[in-house]
Amino acid sequence: MWSLHCSVCTYSQPDGTKLASLCPDCSQPLLVRYAAPVPKSAITGDASLWRYGAALPLLAGERAVTLGEGMTPLIELPHLAAEIGVRRLWVKDEGINPTASFKARGLMMAVTRAKALGLSGVCVPTAGNAGIALAAYAAAAGLPCRIYAPETTPPPILGSIRAFGADLQLLPGHIGDAGKATLTFARESGFFNVATVREPYRVEGMKTMGYEVAEQLGWRLPDAIVYPTGGGEGTIGIWKAIGEMLDWGWLPRETPRPRMIIAQAAGCSPLVRAFRAGEEKATPWEDPTTHASGLRVPGPLGDRLTLRTLRESGGEAEAVSEDAIRSGTFLLASKSGIDAAPEGGAALEAARQLVAAGRLSRDAEVVVFNTGSGASYRW
């Protein structure tokens, strides 16, 4: 059993099974809390994130809407470790997911809850990959689905959304503008708005990335995790998982937590700016511009939670130029065989820049996330 708790104020909703969105008291994100520790022995042999199903918000008798998401490869790259100047480097390749990005994990969970609760439809604003994921899982669930996306979203991503039969609405502007349209539509239609951290379920799917890193490293943690960050749910989810694994005894209690490091595009880096300025929340970025469309999120709702994660973990935040994103993406793909997305290239370059600046130790063992597939950016 689980309950819901505000990430900022003291609000809680004891019956986790009722539909939830933002905190009714302070409008900040809610998070799921489990009543009892989930034992490590509850992990199953599944070759998907459902091996951690006991730690996900699903009730007895409910069926997951699954496409086999998760348990993505974690690949060690000694040559690239030498190239960027750290002791060991792994890339977690989230492109090897249904819908070709990490978004599958979270949208699976949101659609599973929507289906279990008998909702009439789902909707989301997207910078790209979340739209593909919602469209796919809504198709799997047989739920009507509407997606709002900037008209500048890469055409292959728009094509994927349409391929799943979703109702795709293109808008001028950025994901923030799409978010406003989604809010209005959700209010009028009764569709469930599953925008990043506007509901507490996506983060639960996302956290499985943290479980997987620990298990794939042989139940230990790296020194640093570098995550390319738009809305923030990946970072928030992984940090939540680390806390749970320590609380629940999946890892020894004295295990040092990794430094959580976010990479953003120089053309849209509200979280880097806020982190460096010591702010608790981010001011929306003016005129966001980057070809890494997943990073084009000027005013993320998960700003407080992400910034808190960086501070609690002794982490870092680094912005990467468009040229460096391009060169990092090609470096990663051509030296590893991983089909790097621009977001993955940004994360690799952020690690390199931080090492060069002396803000990430050359002795560190580092996990870098490639959050999607490069194929989504080729046309």
Query: With binding defined as CB under 8 A, does residue 376 bind a second copy?
Result: yes
Which amino acid makes up residue 147?
I
* Interface with a second copy, residue 375, by CB under 8 A: yes
Cα distance between residue 330 and residue 178, in whole Å: 30
Residue 284 interacting with a second copy (CB under 8 A): no
Q: Does the protein bind a second copy through residue 45 (CB under 8 A)?
A: yes
In the complex, least distance from residue 79 CB atom to a second copy, rounded to whole angstroms: 8
Q: Which of 67, 119, 181, 355 binds a second copy (CB under 8 A)?
A: 67
Nearest residue (CB) to a second copy, 133 versus 274: 133
Closer to a second copy by Cβ: residue 68 or 284? 68
How would you classify the pairing of strands 316-320 and 365-370? unpaired
Helix (H, G, I), strand (E, B) or coil at 305: helix
Q: What angle do CA 237, 321, 352 make, to 5 degrees?
A: 65
> Looking at 23, 93, 202, 301, which residue binds a second copy (CB under 8 A)?
93
Rule CB under 8 A: which of 322-351 touch a second copy? 329-330, 333-340
Distance of CA 249 to CAs 41, 246, 253, Å? 10, 5, 7
Residues 131-170: x where in contact with a second copy by CB under 8 A, - otherwise, as a string: -----xxxxxxx------------xx--xx--xxx-----
Report helix, strand or coil for 170: strand
**Nearer Cβ to a second copy (137/250):** 137
SS3 154: coil
* Out of 79, 256, 277, 358, the residue judged to bind a second copy by CB under 8 A: 79
Which residue's CB is nearer to a second copy, number 308 or number 335? 335
CA distance 284 to 172: 17
Q: For residue 262, with 0-12 CB atoms within 10 Å meaning exposed, 13-18 middle and 19 or more buried, which class applies?
A: buried
- For the chain, the 3-state helix, strand and coil shares in percent, each to the nearest 5, are 40, 15, 40
> Which residues bind to a second copy, rule: CB under 8 A?
45, 47-48, 65-68, 71-75, 79, 93, 96-100, 136-142, 155-156, 159-160, 163-165, 329-330, 333-340, 373-376, 378-379
